[in-house]
Amino acid sequence: MNRKSLHTLLLATLVIMLFTGCPKPALVDDIATLRDAGDYHGKWIGAAVDPSKFAESAYDTTLKTEFSMVVAENVMKMDTLQPNKDSFNFTPGDSIVAYATANTMALRGHALLWHSQLPTWIKSEPYANLPDLLLTHIDTVLTHYKGKMHSWDVVNEVVMDDGSGLRNNNEDIATSNYSIWADSATDDSLITEAFYKARTADPDAILIINDYSNETMGNAKADKLYSLVAGWINDGVPIDGVGFQLHLMEKYTPDYAAIRANINRYIALKPGFEVHFTEIDVRIEEPATEAKLANQAAIYSHLMDIALDYPEVTVYITWGVTDKYSWIPGFFTGYGSALIFDDLYEPKPAHDALLDMLQ
């Protein structure tokens, strides 16, 4: 067939399709859930979960319909996983794995080296014992979940809030500068060993260093974390990506340009380096008015806009499924309504703005 008759044939087919109402190929704006829209763009849309809520029908339906990834909000932290020395409790974590498998969802692991939610017994161990105890913990947990985890937060919140160094055991125990896992503000030995151990125990998991207030370039803490990660990567430490927790406040508009600049410098560190948005919530000072909910929606959708511009941003997780169980009111007095589904599991403006952005 020559080119002219091919054109005529194509044109005729198009005209026939138009007039016969032949079904159009699926368009992204026909996709009705965040989960499906995220799949379309190759983004994991996740939620932090509490397995004791799986039996609640609205929780279950919302979670498996709208999200493609889950992370344990609490039950894969050390206090739950190793409540007594050398005695592991995988039961609640395993129920999350079973849920994800049954609903074809991906899993993130959270968190291995972290100063908080530690079992009591480890706090009285001398520093000299900690390397073995931490590495055994990592090895046991990653071996147990081997092949099931998309990624692990191997290291969580190690930089002090003022960016001056690593949280460590010389700081005042009553402050957020204290951690059992370092012996000084520059002692990164356990951090790097944690990554090597995690890589050996589960070579397929993406290994992440996660933190809060680390998303904007130009902020002292963010810049400190970046320079530490750059140094570790340079030394060959197996770190595959950075997690931005993104516990934000509705009343402060994020500096989106500074977030983009920060992502740019991280992804330049090595090919394949990923950025995960790991714990997003946008808390509102009560009462939540329509205007505040609209601001919140704009923040959620701007973050998705950024995610869509970077193939390296593969994960977009909200820290909970519903406002009904969000950690925010318990931790930040006077604040709430931080998630994208309300107390009754109704989608909020933030949910609809996210769906619009993905469409």
Scan for tokens 């500068």, then name that residue.
Answer: 177
- Cα separation of 321 and 349, whole Å? 15
Per-residue contact track with ligand XIL, 216 to 255, x per CB under 6 A? -----------------------------x----------
Q: If you write DSSP's letter for every residue of 218-266 in order, what string do you get?
A: TSHHHHHHHHHHHHHHHTT----EEEE--EEETTS---HHHHHHHHHHH
325 binds ligand XIL (CB under 6 A): no
- Cα separation of 311 and 59, whole Å? 30
Per-residue contact track with ligand XIL, 23 to 62, x per CB under 6 A? ----------------------------------------
Q: Where are the beta strands (DSSP E) in 17-166?
A: 44-49, 69-72, 106-113, 151-156
- Binders in 128-157 for ligand XIL, by CB under 6 A: 156
Burial class (CB in 10 A: 0-12, 13-18, 19+), 12: exposed
3-state SS class at 359:
coil
Is residue 125 annotated as part of the catalytic site, yes or no? no
Catalytic residue among 66, 157, 250, 274: 157
Closest CB to ligand XIL among residues 157, 240: 157
Is residue 157 annotated as part of the catalytic site, yes or no? yes
Q: If you write DSSP's letter for every residue of 180-207 in order, what string do you get?
A: TT-SSTT--HHHHHHHHHHHHH-TTSEE
Per-residue contact track with ligand XIL, 87 to 126, x per CB under 6 A? ------------------------x---------------
Among 36, 66, 73, 250, binds ligand XIL (CB under 6 A): 73
Per-residue contact track with ligand XIL, 155 to 184, x per CB under 6 A? -x----------------------------
- Cα separation of 148 and 150, whole Å? 7
- Cα separation of 237 and 244, whole Å? 20
Could you tell me the smallest distance in angstroms from the CB atom of residue 289 to ligand XIL? 25
- Cα separation of 107 and 94, whole Å? 11
327 binds ligand XIL (CB under 6 A): yes
Could you tell me the smallest distance in angstroms from the CB atom of residue 326 to ligand XIL? 8
Residues at the contact surface with ligand XIL, assessed by CB under 6 A? 73-74, 111, 156, 245, 279, 327
- Positions marked catalytic: 157, 279
